[in-house]
Structure 1
Amino acid sequence: MKLNALMVQKAKSMFPLHRGRRLRTNESIRSLVRETSLSPTDFMFPMFIAEGENVKVAIPSMPGIFRRSIDLTVEEVKEIFALGIRAVNIYVKISEDLKDNTGKEAWNPNGLMQQAISAIKAACPEMIVMPDVALDPYSIYGHDGIIANGDVENDSTVAALVKMSVSHAQAGADFVAPSDMMDGRVLRLREGLDAAGFQNVGIMSYSAKYASAFYGPFRDALDSAPREADVEVPKDKKTYQMDYANRIEAIREAVWDVEEGADMVMVKPGIAYLDIVREVKNAVNVPVTVFHVSGEYAMIKAAAERGWLDNDKIMMEQLMCIKRAGASLISTYFAKEAAIILNK
């Protein structure tokens, strides 16, 4: 009893032995012990490509983001490269008369995507170009693959994606970025690229892409939402994109993609899925990309416009949190804004 009392008294005299606030005293100390840092090279900038010349169309649901024609896209690429950003993820909006159920425009060697890849690489050879690989911008139904028997048919879609990816490689892409969530497509893409002589073209697979409501502004930008049709089609993308209630499934999908040859895997969306980012990071031995998606961008912009949040502070906090969770690369519409701040 006396011994216990002596121990309590000694503990009280030492309280508190550990003072976490010592390492928070001022910014100089905080910067010395900071566990996570951000750099412009952590970012990939998603870019929307439009047909025509000297075209710059604002996307109302994504303030500050535009669809640009190839000529203006090239100028923007040069600008962000000068800021230290080293990767772009590109998407195209094609005219309605080029869309069908086969997606054949996706592998047209003279298509908008292929022209954009070639132009960017010619103007800025060191910029890493990762074109999107999915059929939704080319589909009359707005789905990521070929519709058959009322659903997206997996294997015929994968065959189309192989042709699409090879055409991207031929145009000069450094990586292809399959976002379709078809089963087995990474293996078939790797085989197709290798057979065509593109062993050094990488694959950044959207491995854990959830069926999320956060994609709304993106679908506005490309007019790629599922549509009503005169044939039976799924009303949404839940038969191929993941159920947001699931965690273990994301790990399994990422591991499968690595086994099939993915050089990088992606988790999408970002902030609401940081538990998944950490789980995937712990499970695989390749870089993990996180897509800070259009809805996450739009929410910050809308709140900032109303004076409810500080745009720059929330932007940097969210990007830091994504990096802290395990992201090696962050695809974000904030890439240019954040790089400007980091370069100050």
Structure 2
Amino acid sequence: MFARFRRKRLNPVLRDLLQETHLSVNDFIYPLFARSGTGIKDEVASMPGVYQMSIDEIVKECEDLKKLGIYAIILFGIPDVKDSVGSDALCEHGIIAQTVRAVKAAHPDMFVVTDLCFCEYTDHGHCGVLDPVLETVDNDITLGNLAKQAVVHAKAGADMIAPSGMMDGMITAIREGLDSAGFENLPVMSYSTKFASAYYGPFRDVAESSPSFGDRRSYQMNPANRNEAILESIEDEKEGADILMVKPALAYLDIVRDIKNNTSLPLAVYNVSGEYSMLKMAAKAGVIDYDKVMMETLLGFKRAGADIIITYHAKEAALLLQK
């Protein structure tokens, strides 16, 4: 006697009844990139379908997203002026604060997450204030600035803060800053396990955030390290993070499952720019069925343990799910 697994696969209704993992439009957070000006919607060559937008265009985009059932966005800012400390990120009139206020005024039902980091705002492209001797980010000085940045976003109306700089102690500093300013109920979704990955290349085009020297391996994680990846997320849970995250997603599904098995917190993944662009270019070359591969990839994130997927595919996936 041998097992006949096909008994449960022959009938499509039974297949659907027994499907273990499901995708929903409620799983998605859609990234948006804000810059100053009006009427700006500039497509990024390395990321077809992804745009730098002025605030008025982002407000319009939110209307389109809601028609697809997408009610969660994550905002990244492209300032007009960059300096050594990322001053625009600390200013209540900075690009992200302005964008949050505009989106919440026009769409109070839109859930607005703000990326909390300095790489887009510094003239050197690193994720905080530099230590001139070590030529890397000064961890502890940057913690204070992250707390200030979080409060600026909170006062503008952000619904959730998502720190991405991989500074040691960043969740403690941000949580204390938010709580002392009266935002104790504002959740923090930490980029708790973020690797120093080559998959980020196209993002740096759209966010204009490439480092002017070196790389980010002195603070982002070594892609070879599994145990350290788990420890990073567990430490952020101890410090008070409400949601954890693994970034990138596709090449790190083992890490997603490892962390899921070691925490009770919700877990997000960031389906990053390189992952997105590879599918776009493969579709353009005619070597894949884009829709099927995209949906299979997103389903794989859920199966590995993700509760939330930050993805540039969100609009396309939502359309397919509606059908």
Task: State the TM-score, normalized to the length of structure 1.
Answer: 0.92
Q: Give the secondary-structure state (helix, strand or coil) at the position aligned to 1:204.
A: coil
The aligned residue for residue 241 of structure 1 is 220
Q: Which amino acid aligns with 2:154?
A: A
- 2 CA distance for matches of 1:296 and 1:223? 18
- 2 CA distance for matches of 1:145 and 1:110? 20
- State which of 296, 299, 302 in structure 1 corresponds to 2:278: 299
The aligned residue for residue 124 of structure 1 is 107
Q: Which amino acid aligns with 2:283?
A: A
Q: Give the secondary-structure state (helix, strand or coil) at the position aligned to 2:191.
A: strand
The offset of 1:93, in angstroms, is 1.1
The offset of 1:342, in angstroms, is 0.3
Quick check: 1:51–1:69 contact (8 Å CA) kept in 2? yes
Number of aligned residue pairs: give it: 321
The aligned residue for residue 266 of structure 1 is 245
2:127 counterpart of 1:144: yes
Q: Give the secondary-structure state (helix, strand or coil) at the position aligned to 1:65.
A: strand
The aligned residue for residue 156 of structure 2 is 171
The aligned residue for residue 281 of structure 1 is 260
Q: Give the secondary-structure state (helix, strand or coil) at the position aligned to 1:126.
A: coil
The offset of 1:89, in angstroms, is 0.8
Q: Which amino acid aligns with 1:128?
A: F
- 2 CA distance for matches of 1:308 and 1:56? 29
The aligned residue for residue 4 of structure 1 is none
The aligned residue for residue 213 of structure 1 is 198
- State which of 303, 306, 314 in structure 2 corresponds to 1:324: 303
The offset of 1:227, in angstroms, is 0.6
- 2 CA distance for matches of 1:127 and 1:22? 44
- State which of 72, 96, 118 in structure 2 corresponds to 1:135: 118
- 1 CA distance for matches of 2:243 and 2:67? 25
Quick check: 2:79–2:94 contact (8 Å CA) kept in 1? no
The aligned residue for residue 3 of structure 1 is none
Pick the structure with greater CA Rg. 1
- 2 CA distance for matches of 1:214 and 1:27? 37
The aligned residue for residue 49 of structure 2 is 64
- 2 CA distance for matches of 1:54 and 1:182? 36
The offset of 1:123, in angstroms, is 1.4
The aligned residue for residue 97 of structure 2 is 114
2:26 counterpart of 1:41: yes
- State which of 85, 91, 96 in structure 2 corresponds to 1:102: 85
4+ runs deviating over 3 angstroms: none
Quick check: 1:103–1:160 contact (8 Å CA) kept in 2? no
The offset of 1:92, in angstroms, is 1.1
Q: Give the secondary-structure state (helix, strand or coil) at the position aligned to 1:321.
A: helix
- 2 CA distance for matches of 1:120 and 1:279? 36
Q: Which amino acid aligns with 1:112?
A: I
The aligned residue for residue 23 of structure 1 is 8
- 2 CA distance for matches of 1:114 and 1:131? 9
Unaligned runs of 5+ in 1: 1-14, 229-234
**1:143-162 → structure 2 map (5 Å cutoff):** 143-148=126-131, 149=133, 150-162=135-147
The aligned residue for residue 10 of structure 1 is none
Q: Which amino acid aligns with 1:107?
A: L
Unaligned runs of 5+ in 2: none
The offset of 1:83, in angstroms, is 1.4
The offset of 1:124, in angstroms, is 1.4
Task: State the TM-score, normalized to the length of structure 2.
Answer: 0.98
The offset of 1:82, in angstroms, is 2.3
- 1 CA distance for matches of 2:175 and 2:111? 19
The aligned residue for residue 5 of structure 1 is none
- 1 CA distance for matches of 2:195 and 2:287? 28
The offset of 1:290, in angstroms, is 0.2
Moved more, 85-94 or 201-210: 85-94
* % same residue: 49
Superposed CA deviations along residues 154-211 of structure 1, whole A, max 9, x for unmatched, are 0001111111010000000011100000000101100000000011111000000000
Q: Give the secondary-structure state (helix, strand or coil) at the position aligned to 2:153.
A: helix
- 2 CA distance for matches of 1:327 and 1:77? 24
2:235 counterpart of 1:250: no
- 1 CA distance for matches of 2:5 and 2:71? 37
The offset of 1:27, in angstroms, is 2.1
Quick check: 1:42–1:85 contact (8 Å CA) kept in 2? no
The offset of 1:314, in angstroms, is 0.6
- State which of 75, 78, 81 in structure 1 corresponds to 2:66: 81
- 1 CA distance for matches of 2:160 and 2:9? 42
- 1 CA distance for matches of 2:7 and 2:35? 53
Quick check: 2:79–2:88 contact (8 Å CA) kept in 1? no
- 2 CA distance for matches of 1:202 and 1:208? 18
**1:308-319 → structure 2 map (5 Å cutoff):** 308-319=287-298
